[in-house]
Each structure stands twice: as C-alpha cells, then as structure tokens.
Structure 1
C-alpha cells in the first residue's frame, strides 16, 4: 500500500492506495498532520511507502518521524519524470505542477494534455503529444478573488463562495459573486478555447478543490477529477521506482 500526501497552500490532502485504487481519502489542517498520519498508519497497517509532495512549508521531520514504520519519499524536481521539461526556469516549476503533468502523461499517452488545477491558485499546465512540458499559466483561485476584493478596497465585503443567479448582479453581493465565479469560468473556457485552436487532439483535465463546482459551469467538455493530484502522486512514485 502507498499513502500519498499533498501539502497545499490551504489544506493537506492524503489518500491510501492499493495498486491504482483509492481506499480512503483524507483532508486536514497542517496542525493535525502528525496525529492524522499516525491514525492512518494505524488503520492501514500494510502501508509500506509514504509519498509526499509539498508546495507549502512543513517540517520534513513531521514525516520523517514515521520512518520506523514506513519508507518516506519526498517528491522533488530531481526525481525521474515521464516528460522532458521545456520550462524556461525549470527549477522554479512547482512540484505540484510537475506531478500533475506526470500523471497526465502516464494516463493519456500520445496526446496533448492541458491540466487545470483549481485551488488556492488556478494553474494551467500543458504537456504536448511528444511528452514535452511546455509551460502554462498561474492565476488567483476563487477564494483569493473574494479575499482580494475585500482586502484591497475600502467597502467591499468578504463573501464566501456562492453560485451567481445571473451574470447581471442586482446588488453589491450579487455583483461580486458574478464577477468572481463567472470571471473565472470565462477565463478557464477562454484558455481551453485557445489550446483547442492550437492543438488538433487534446485532453482537458480539471482538478483541485474547486473542480466540481466549476466543472458544471464550463461550456467546454472536460475530464473533472478532484483526486487527480493524489492519483498522479501515486503514479509518479511508481514510475520513479521502475526507472531509477
């Protein structure tokens, strides 16, 4: 068994895998990290590997404390990946984006792939049909858009995510919801249209915490999978074991 852990900007997500099947998924705060990992290992006693991907600062010792129970692996830019990297500044490419690109490359061979991760930030990552990572884009996610309107203006309130009834807001609150939600939907659809115009055959993967909320609002056909990063972590680790 493999336990994959994704340390994100907002939360920690984890999943237990038996082969390619998720047995159970977990979401928790950074403060609960060690206690939660301990409980997972107690519940699934045959976990042999703990695979960690992190874009936020968490002490490695929090994971290394379990070395007496499992083998701990930190995924890094130095690992083996199933694509070549054409990014202009490869060492600055986030490990989460690399893992997503790896998962898409392994799952959808010989295709152009656009992976959209809708979380705290929205990242767009493109791997072409020749397995070359070409780059992408980074934009604020839904929560950041709501927070920025409140923090950088004098009077706009801080709202929580809500589906707008119309693109025409009839109040300040409705206008904010329309601008935040519809604005991001139009952005994502716009990016997809650009990639579709440039590529004859492309698979679109939408993942991240807001994937399910956004998926039903997009006009483009996509493959939505909120667990894709955790699945890609497992696939990337298995690829590394076979190729190192």
Structure 2
C-alpha cells in the first residue's frame, strides 16, 4: 500500500492506494498533519511507502518522524517524469503542476491534454499528444477572488462561495457572487475554447477543491476528478520506480 500526501497552499490532501485503487482519501489542515498521518497508518498498517508532493511550507521533519514505519519519498523536479519538459524556466515549475502533467500523460496517452486545477489558484497545464509539456497559465482561484475584493477595497464585504441568483446582481453581495463565479466560469471556458481552436484529439481534465462546484457550470465537456492529483502522485511514483 502507498500513502500519498499533497501539501497544498491551503490544506493537505492524502489517499491510501492499493496499486491503482483508492482505498480512502482524506482532507485536513496543516496543523493536524502528524496526528492525521498517525491515524491513517493505524488504520492501514500495511502501508509501505509515504509519497509526498509539497508546494506548501511544511518542513520535511514533520514527515521524517515516520521513517521508522515506512519508506518516505519526496517527489521533486529532479525525478523522472513521463513527459518532455519544454517550459522555458523548468526550475520554476511547481511540483504539483508536474505531477498533474504526469498523470494526464500516463492516463490519457496519445492525446492533447489540458489539466485545469481549481484550488487556491487555478492552473492550466497543457501536454501535447507527443508528450511535450508546453506550459499553461496561473490565475487566482475562487476564494482568492472573494478575498481580493474585500482586502483591496474600502467597503466590499468578504463573502463565501455561493451560487449567484442571477447574472444581474441586484445587491452588492449578489453582484460580487455574479462577478466572481460567472467571471471564473467564463475564464475557464474561454481558455478551453482557445485551445480547441488550435488542437484536436483533445481532453480536458478538471480537478482541485472547486471541481464539483464548477463541473456542472462549464459549457465544455470535461473529465472531472477532484482526486486527480493524488491519483497522479501515485502513478508518478510507480513510474519513478519502473524507470529509475
């Protein structure tokens, strides 16, 4: 069994795998890390490997305290990946984006793939049908957009994500919901449309914390999987074992 851990900007996601099958997945806060992993390992004592990808500021020693229980692997850009990285500044490419690209390459061979990860930020990563990683885009996620409107204006309230009642917001709160949610959806559909004009044999993968909220609002056909990063992390680890 393999325990995969994704340390994001906001929260930590984890999953236990038996080969390619997810046995259970978890989401928790960063300050719960040690207790949660202890609890997971008690429930799944046959875990042999702990595989970590981190873009958050968690120290390695928080994981190394478990090195007497299982093998610990920190995936980095120095590991082997199933695509050719053609990013102009490869050392600045986040490990989370690399793992998403790896998962898309391994799960959907010989296709043009656009991976959209809707979390704290929304990232777009494109891997062509020849397994070349070409790049993508980064912009603020839904929560950040609400926070920016509040933090950088004098009077706009801080709201939480909510379905807009109408495209025409008739209160300040509804105007914010309409602007944030509809603007976000238009952005994603716009990016997808732009890629579709240039590439055929195309698949769009939507993942991240806001997957379920967004999936039914997009006009484009997508493959939605909120656990895609964790699945990709497990697959990337298996690929590393087979190709090191």
Q: TM-score range by the shorter chain?
A: over 0.9
Give unpaired runs (5+ residues) of structure 1. none
State the Cα distance separating 1:165 from its structure 2 match. 1.5
Other structure's SS at 1:181 match: helix
State the Cα distance separating 1:200 from its structure 2 match. 1.2
Other structure's SS at 2:144 match: helix
* 1:108 aligns to 2:118 (yes or no): no
* Correspondence 1:1-244 to 2 at 5 A: 1-244=1-244
Distance in 2 (alpha carbons) for counterparts of 1:56 and 1:7: 6
Distance in 2 (alpha carbons) for counterparts of 1:73 and 1:30: 19
State the Cα distance separating 1:216 from its structure 2 match. 0.3
Distance in 1 (alpha carbons) for counterparts of 2:190 and 2:167: 17
Distance in 2 (alpha carbons) for counterparts of 1:67 and 1:110: 38
State the Cα distance separating 1:166 from its structure 2 match. 1.3
Distance in 2 (alpha carbons) for counterparts of 1:214 and 1:230: 19
Distance in 1 (alpha carbons) for counterparts of 2:87 and 2:78: 15
> Normalising by structure 2, what TM-score?
1.00
State the Cα distance separating 1:89 from its structure 2 match. 0.3
- 1:123-143 CA-to-partner distances (Å, cap 9, x unmatched) read 000000000000000000000
Other structure's SS at 1:133 match: strand
Distance in 2 (alpha carbons) for counterparts of 1:140 and 1:53: 21
Distance in 1 (alpha carbons) for counterparts of 2:165 and 2:139: 24
Distance in 2 (alpha carbons) for counterparts of 1:164 and 1:127: 34
Other structure's SS at 1:53 match: strand
State the Cα distance separating 1:175 from its structure 2 match. 0.3
State the Cα distance separating 1:201 from its structure 2 match. 1.1
Distance in 1 (alpha carbons) for counterparts of 2:180 and 2:94: 25
State the Cα distance separating 1:226 from its structure 2 match. 0.1
- 1:34-64 CA-to-partner distances (Å, cap 9, x unmatched) read 1110111111010000000000110101111
Give unpaired runs (5+ residues) of structure 2. none
Distance in 2 (alpha carbons) for counterparts of 1:92 and 1:85: 12
> Normalising by structure 1, what TM-score?
1.00
Distance in 1 (alpha carbons) for counterparts of 2:126 and 2:71: 32
Distance in 2 (alpha carbons) for counterparts of 1:86 and 1:165: 43
